[in-house]
Amino acid sequence: MKKNPVISPSFVIEESLLRQNLEILKSVSDRSGADILIALKAFAAWKIFPIIREYFKFAAASSSFEARLAAEELGGLAHTCSPAYTNENFDEIMNFSSHITFNSLAQFEKFIPQIQKHPYKISCGLRINPEYSDIKTEIYNPAAPGSRLGITRSALGKTLPEGIEGLHFHAMFESSSVSLENTLKYTEARFGDLFHQIKWLNIGGGHNITNRKYDTGHLVSILTSLKERYPNLQVILEPGAAFVLNAGYLLATVVDVVESNGIKTAILDISFTCHAPDCLEMPYKPVIQSAYPEPVAGKPTYRLGGNSCLSGDFIGEYSFKKELHAGSEIKFLDMIQYTTVKTTMFNGIQHPNICLNKEDGYLRTLRRFTYNDYKNRMD
Ligand SMILES: Cc1ncc(COP(=O)(O)O)c(C=O)c1O
């Protein structure tokens, strides 16, 4: 079949690479007996869900919208965990969730009467704060002192409140199995006496399972030994990024090259603040195909600038084999996790298309964004 070209700018999900990740995750779930949920916060391009559903049916949601999307498009009720539920969204949360995790005892006490009256059973849990994490990027550390996320051990008694069936912690980010082992050790030291009182333990996301260097055998042994220590527990993981790690790219094109104080900036048809905000927030420097990740003496070197008015909307520098000019294509690798879910239409900049490169090489454009998408957000 003749391949159709990718139109810039586009996020392109590669079906074959996505399936490789799904196979790895499925094999971990099968070998360990742990349940794996897809955390929609990392990836929610729902037209891809039919592929994901071949392997996994359930999602972790952070809001009523995510829970509804999980139920409508993935086909299963969500495990929902939000820092705070409101009177306005709680009915929807109940309608689309099989599990609801509360971030405080006050929130659990407020909503438990409604849950008890609900026509079908919803399993309730509490988010705990292990007060340990080896995350180095503070903005991603939910276990930092003073964190609003999760209940600390000192705030819980020896017996969990009636109606609590699960505990949930999330304290990892792009982490190895060794990091999980350490986090689990600390969590068990603090909360292990409560593990006999619950039915499920959700050990959150941040597991870098589909990274080539990740030791899945070690992960499986950690999970099976956890299950041996607490046979009462259904162990649940909710990775997000691992589902789409390295499973696609963002194609952008140089629109102009400007120079100021000896610094050359290639201005692109995308914006980092709008389309890849983690590049500025973390900050994170993505890999670019066929470019050097750092300046190389003697090679054409550029900052890459976004097409917005934000002065800081640039990354780099990178060196390239050839000079960049208007029309040069730039392929940012591993650009599917936490991008399409976080994008904005700040400055009214054209939003990249969302495409699926099918296994047979046929490119399907799932979504093109238009002026009306921009306009309708602000009626
Ligand atoms: C509660 C919770 N669960 C799961 C995840 C997914 O993490 P990741 O995409 O790093 O696997 C996150 C990420 O922030 C989270 O906050």
Q: What is the pLDDT of residues 105-124, one digit of tens each?
A: 999 999 999 999 999 999 99
Mean pLDDT of 168-183: 97
Mean pLDDT of 6-20: 98
- In DSSP terms, 260 is beta-bridged to 263
Across the chain, mean pLDDT equals: 97
* Between 2 and 219, residue with greater pLDDT: 219
Look at residue 2 and tell me whether its pLDDT is greater than 70: no
Q: What is the pLDDT of residue 137?
A: 84
Atom of ligand 1 nearest to the CA of 338: 9
Q: What letter does residue 348 receive in the DSSP assignment?
A: G
* 5: its two tokens: 């070209």
What b/e sequence results for 106-141 when a residue is b if at least 16 CB atoms lie within 10 Å of its CB, and e otherwise? Answer: ebbeebbeebeeeeeebbbbbbbbbbbbbbeeeebb
CA 143, 341, 72, 238 dihedral sign is negative
Look at residue 141 and tell me whether its pLDDT is greater than 80: yes
Q: What is the pLDDT of residue 136?
A: 84
Mean pLDDT of 233-245: 98
Instruction: Give the least confident one: 110-114, 145-149, 270-274.
Output: 145-149
Query: Could you give the C-alpha distances from 237 to 26, 65, 83, 203, in angstroms and in order?
Result: 12, 21, 18, 5
pTM above 0.95, yes or no: yes
C-alpha 51 – ligand 1 centre gap (Å): 21
Mean pLDDT of 265-272: 98
Mean pLDDT of 282-297: 96
Residue corresponding to tokens 């499973």:
247
Atom of ligand 1 nearest to the CA of 238: 4
Q: What is the pLDDT of residue 3?
A: 72
C-alpha span between 246 and 21 (Å, rounded): 9
Selection from 99, 106, 54, 108 nearest residue 81 by Cα: 99
Helices (H), 265-370: 272-275, 278-281
Q: What domains lie within the chain, and their CATH numbers?
A: 16-243 (3.20.20.10), 248-376 (2.40.37.10)
Q: What is the pLDDT of residues 19-64, one digit of tens each?
A: 999 999 999 999 999 999 999 999 999 999 999 999 999 999 999 9
Residues with a CB atom less than 6 Å from ligand 1: 39, 41-42, 60, 81, 170, 173, 204-206, 238-242
